[in-house]
């Protein structure tokens, strides 16, 4: 039987994951079946166990189930434990469910692909929700000189920074406490969804700085437009989406797809 994988979400209709994983599988000659499943909001664990009973070997997990997925795992990767969330479920040979989160490595790989050197860089991360918590471990592991987390609700950023302080030089606070310059500024707020911009000082960017928005769309987000007007190079989150998928694929199949053709095809289709 063909190995089955899926992405769980609610809603899930617009997910790009089935197309991405189908492209990876075709590229590598791996026979897999990957579908999108809308799990019920009140029984994520049931949806996963039903999927396993029907031959499921692994899954991606998206909004709003990443914390539910975290809770059902019998074994967690260290980075998933830090994130408190799981975007990749893997069925172990012993029937146990293993959980990982690949969003952070996806972000770091995409930054590297754009030629951004994180080691020694001054980093600013905007936002303190689940999306940001999920990427802090790989960002700090890349050895930046410093990392500031800034959030509309300052206390959330302070608490988040405290949870990661053992991994590197990290501070948290409100937007009004932000003083540049920074080499890399990552927008992990959901403000772009509402076409809003976090209130930020004009002199945020160092020469040659990169502004990264975890969101993406056919047009640059308001954050990337704002950053571009202030001299920063803008990168959206489409590459992060493809890179996190590639890392999940690797966890399941032990093989790494070339992400460039898939990313180019998605970009053309936006």
Stretch of residues binding ligand ATR (CB under 6 A), selected from 90-98, 185-193, 224-232, 243-251? 185-193
Cβ nearer to ligand ATR, comparing 144 with 198: 198
CA 37 to chain CA mean position, Å: 20
CA distance 269 to 53: 35
* Region binding ligand ATR by CB under 6 A among candidate stretches 12-20, 37-45, 101-109, 121-129: 121-129
Q: Looking at 18, 130, 217, 234, which residue binds ligand ATR (CB under 6 A)?
A: 130
Please enumerate in sequence order all residues whose Cβ is within 8 A of that of 200, keeping only pairs 6 or more positions apart, or say none.
Answer: 126, 175, 178, 226
131 marked as part of a ligand binding site: yes
Query: From CA 182, how far away is CA 198, in angstroms rounded?
Result: 16
CA 138 distance to own-chain centroid? 11
Sheet of 170-174: strand order equals 170-174, 146-151, 122-126, 182-187, 205-213, 233-235
For the beta carbon of residue 121, count every other beta carbon within 10 angstroms.
21
* Least distance CB 184 / ligand ATR (angstroms): 18
C-alpha to C-alpha distance for 129 and 145, rounded to whole angstroms: 23
**Residues 201-260 interacting with ligand ATR (rule: CB under 6 A):** none
CA angle 263, 137, 117 (to 5 degrees): 60
CB of 131 to ligand ATR, least distance (A): 3
Which one among 7, 73, 131, 149 touches ligand ATR, defined by CB under 6 A? 131
Shortest Cβ 181–ligand ATR spacing (Å): 21
Nearest to 82 by CA among 155, 158, 162: 162
Residue of the chain from 152, 171, 230, 233 that contacts ligand ATR (CB under 6 A): 152
Q: Which one of residues 88, 187, 189, 259 is an interface residue with ligand ATR (CB under 6 A)? A: 189
- Of 66, 82, 109, 253, catalytic: 66
Nearer to ligand ATR, 6 or 215 (CB): 215
Near ligand ATR by CB under 6 A, which window of 21-29, 94-102, 109-117, 192-200?
192-200
Catalytic: 256? no
Residues annotated as catalytic (active site), given as ranges = 66
């Amino acid at each position: 039987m063909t190995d089955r994988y899926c992405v769980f979400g609610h809603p899930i209709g617009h997910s790009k994951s089935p197309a991405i994983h189908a492209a990876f599988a075709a590229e590598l000659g791996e026979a897999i079946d990957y579908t999108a499943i809308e799990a019920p909001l009140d029984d994520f664990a049931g949806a996963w166990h039903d999927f396993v009973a029907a031959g499921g070997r692994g899954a991606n997990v998206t909004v709003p189930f990443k914390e539910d997925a975290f809770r059902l795992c019998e074994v967690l990767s260290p980075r998933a434990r830090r994130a408190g969330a799981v975007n990749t479920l893997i069925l172990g040979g012993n029937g146990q469910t293993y959980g990982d989160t690949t969003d952070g490595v996806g972000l770091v790989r995409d930054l590297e692909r754009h030629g951004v050197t994180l080691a020694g860089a001054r980093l600013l991360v905007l936002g303190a929700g689940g999306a940001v918590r999920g990427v802090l471990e790989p960002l700090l592991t890349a050895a930046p000189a410093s990392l500031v987390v800034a959030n509309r609700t300052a206390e959330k950023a302070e608490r988040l920074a405290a949870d990661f302080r053992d991994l590197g030089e990290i501070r948290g606070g409100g937007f009004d406490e932000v003083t540049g310059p920074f080499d890399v500024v990552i927008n992990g707020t959901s403000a772009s969804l509402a076409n809003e911009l976090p209130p930020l000082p004009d002199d945020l960017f160092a020469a040659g700085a990169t502004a990264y928005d975890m969101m993406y769309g056919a047009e640059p987000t308001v954050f990337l437009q704002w950053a571009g007007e202030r001299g920063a190079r803008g990168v959206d989150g489409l590459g992060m989406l493809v890179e996190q998928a590639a890392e999940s694929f690797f966890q399941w199949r032990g093989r790494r797809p070339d992400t460039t053709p898939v990313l180019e095809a998605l970009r053309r289709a936006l």
